[in-house]
Amino acid sequence: MHLNRLTCHELVEMIKAQTVTAEEVVEHVFRRIDEVESKINAFISTFKEDALEKAREIDRKIRRGESVGLLAGIPVAVKDNICTRGKLTTCGSKMLSNYIPPYSATVVEKIEAAGGIIIGKTNMDEFAMGNSTETSFFGCTRNPWDLTRVPGGSSGGSAAALTSDETVLALGSDTGGSIRCPASFCSVVGLKPTYGLVSRYGLVAYANSLEQIGPMAKDVLDCAMLLTAIAGHDPRDSTSAPRSPYDYTSAINGDIKNVKVGVPREFFAAGLDERVEKSVLSAVSILEDLGATCGETSISYLEYVVPTYYLIAMSEASSNLARFDGLRYGFTAKCDGDWNEVFSATRSEGFGEEVKRRILLGTFALSAGYYDKYYLKALKVRTLIKREFEKALAKFDVLVAPTMPILPFKIGEIIEDPLTMYMMDIDTVPVNLAGVPSISVPCGFVDGLPVGLQVIGGFFGEEKILKVAYAFQEHTKFNLKKPEI
Amino acid sequence: MITKEVVENVAWLARIKLSEEEKEKFARQLSEILEYFNVISKVDTSSVEPTFHVLELHNVFRDDEERESLPQEVALKSARESEDGFVKAPKIL
């Protein structure tokens, strides 16, 4: 049996019942990593010995009859912009290629407290800036469904590791679609939580008013389990919402009769690949067959979401990434000059092209004479977009839309054309601007390439979107299809 | 329109040294991107407040209690150069 192919909910039962050991599970995962990693490049670093040691510790606890957590013995891959104490955390950048954080992110502490085992750090677009994983300093991750195509991004390593069974669970982060895009392109499940539900303490900031860490998994129930482990208030993150712990798996199973599903027509406009549209519309009729009430609705201003998102994200990035001075931690250029010279040379060599582009544009948008025209204007349009979601979600329980308007594209096909890359985020970025939760769940294949369905909820409506996604998955079983690698 | 001079100025503000080739490439790309971003000027926002943050959280306080913090030697471990418990920086003036 290949234990690495199983889900978290299956494995936890088996580990607790002692029909398998956590050590065996971790061994199987690393055997798979040895087998396929040269083709996939999902990981920047892996921790085999530490992981095996932790697994044996869980096994000992179980044999002694001690209580173990929700994720007991389960391998978890962590995106490399989430700090792991004593373990390299690079953000996919040369700038942090030598950075070993002296502390762990809250989500990492929570996973470990729940018995989860961190097996490695996954590849990503540099500083999470991209939707293809091509901007990583450590080379592109490949899509397991077609090795010539991108896995999506920026959490491309996490998604590809799940698809290729190199892990059981994974963490991603989502600033403008970075969990949902690769989930869609790799046919896995990924959830962007409501802003403030999951602590950002220990997440290297890119655009802090937009981003959230979230769970990625092979099915919806696993996704709910990981969300349960990481959600909750954290006094170390001042933007963390004061909410009590909650078990997101508890109500996932109910039927979706009478659930009101809104289909915003703007998400089905020009630019959407017809084949993707067909898959998503057939998903809508499946939801109707399952008893949901589907109706057309509208999210106005969708044609403005990409500029609005990028102006805000780039502005925040230019401020957040000012900390990389090469003095306190990270890469330093070999340069004997004064402060400004060392600082500028370090950032010139340490940052890749896309990161420079975004810092420059963000600096421009915040500079004297342009602040009102670009940054402040974008923040006002953001208010209008947020209101659109509030209006639609007052009438409907959830909204459904394509996650990505296109199928996974070829490596190198679009990377030289930044504007075209940005435009592909049209269906994911509005969710971050509004701050609401959204899940991407597999909804079919076109010529062997995956399509994702996005289910968007109201503030703290994670339970509802998980329930709709679960009902859809249980009926369609697209999650069970695996690629040959 | 973003000229090479504008790119030079912004790159100085952001402390990123650029090659001549990069300056020209970014001037071209940033012009194209900003031209597209300009569509938001068409939206009427005259009576709209900006959204800096989606959650209505204000003044998050905690009790002023002494807690454990990173030991100095751990905090300095990643620094390029340190001396007498400080991060050593290149000369500023």
Chain segment A253-274, per-residue pLDDT in tens:
989 999 999 999 999 987 899 9
pLDDT at A251 over 90: no
Nearest to B45 among A347, A357, A381 (CB): A381
User: What pTM was computed for the model?
Assistant: 0.97
CATH architecture, domain defined by A3-260+397-480 = Alpha-Beta Complex (3.90)
- Residue-level pLDDT at B59: 82
A21 band by pLDDT with thresholds 50, 70 and 90: very high
Please say whether the beta carbons of A124 and A156 come within 8 A.
yes
User: Would the CB atoms of A340 and B15 count as touching at under 8 Å?
Assistant: yes
B58 band by pLDDT with thresholds 50, 70 and 90: confident
Q: What is the mean pLDDT of residues B42-71?
A: 90
CB count within 10 Å of CB A480 equals 10
How big is the CA angle at B54 (ends A178 and A203), to the nearest 5 degrees?
A: 45
Q: Give domain limits for chain A.
A: 3-260+397-480
A247 band by pLDDT with thresholds 50, 70 and 90: very high
Nearest to A196 among B29, B51, B55 (CB): B55
Residue to mutate among B25, B36, B49, B51, with most A CBs inside 10 A, is B51
CB count within 10 Å of CB A336 equals 8
* Closest residue on chain A to B89 (Cα): A327
- Residue-level pLDDT at A254: 87
- Residue-level pLDDT at A483: 97
pLDDT at B57 over 80: no
Using a 10 angstrom Cβ sphere, with 0-12 exposed, 13-18 middle and 19 or more buried, the burial of residue A389 is buried
Of A478, A437, A434, A433, the closest CA to residue A454 belongs to: A437
* Chain Cα centroid distance, residue A236: 22
Q: Is A132 a catalytic residue?
A: no
Antiparallel, parallel or unpaired: β A189-192 and A169-174: unpaired
Contacting residues for A223 by C-beta, under 8 A, at least 6 apart: A189, A190, A191, A215, A216, A217, A439, A466, A469
Q: What is the mean pLDDT of residues A448-467?
A: 98
Using a 10 angstrom Cβ sphere, with 0-12 exposed, 13-18 middle and 19 or more buried, the burial of residue A204 is buried
B23 touches chain A (CB under 8 A): no
A94 touches chain B (CB under 8 A): no
Q: Is A79 a catalytic residue?
A: yes
B92 touches chain A (CB under 8 A): yes
CA gap A404, A276 in Å, rounded? 8
Write down the mean pLDDT value for chain A.
97
B92 band by pLDDT with thresholds 50, 70 and 90: confident
Residue to mutate among B3, B36, B41, B45, with most A CBs inside 10 A, is B45
Q: What is the mean pLDDT of residues B12-29?
A: 97
Residue with the two structure tokens 């009729």: A285
CA gap A283, A365 in Å, rounded? 40
Nearest to B17 among A344, A373, A381 (CB): A344
CATH class of B1-43: mainly alpha
User: Would the CB atoms of A307 and B36 count as touching at under 8 Å?
Assistant: yes
Of A459, A452, A456, the closest CA to residue A473 belongs to: A452
Please say whether the beta carbons of A190 and A202 come within 8 A.
no
CA gap A55, A7 in Å, rounded? 17
CA gap A431, A436 in Å, rounded? 6
B80 touches chain A (CB under 8 A): yes
A428 band by pLDDT with thresholds 50, 70 and 90: very high
- Residue-level pLDDT at A66: 96
Q: Is the ipTM of this complex over 0.90?
A: yes
B61 band by pLDDT with thresholds 50, 70 and 90: confident
Identity (one letter) of the amino acid at B85? G
Q: What is the mean pLDDT of residues A207-230?
A: 98
Residue to mutate among A361, A425, A426, with most B CBs inside 10 A, is A361
A374 touches chain B (CB under 8 A): yes
Strand order in the sheet with A449-457: A43-46, A117-122, A75-79, A169-174, A212-217, A189-192, A438-446, A449-457, A398-402, A260-264, A293-297
Q: Give domain limits for chain B.
A: 1-43
Helical (H) or strand (E) element with B34: helix B20-37
Q: Is A178 a catalytic residue?
A: yes
Q: What is the mean pLDDT of residues A191-216?
A: 98
CA gap A147, B24 in Å, rounded? 34
B66 band by pLDDT with thresholds 50, 70 and 90: very high
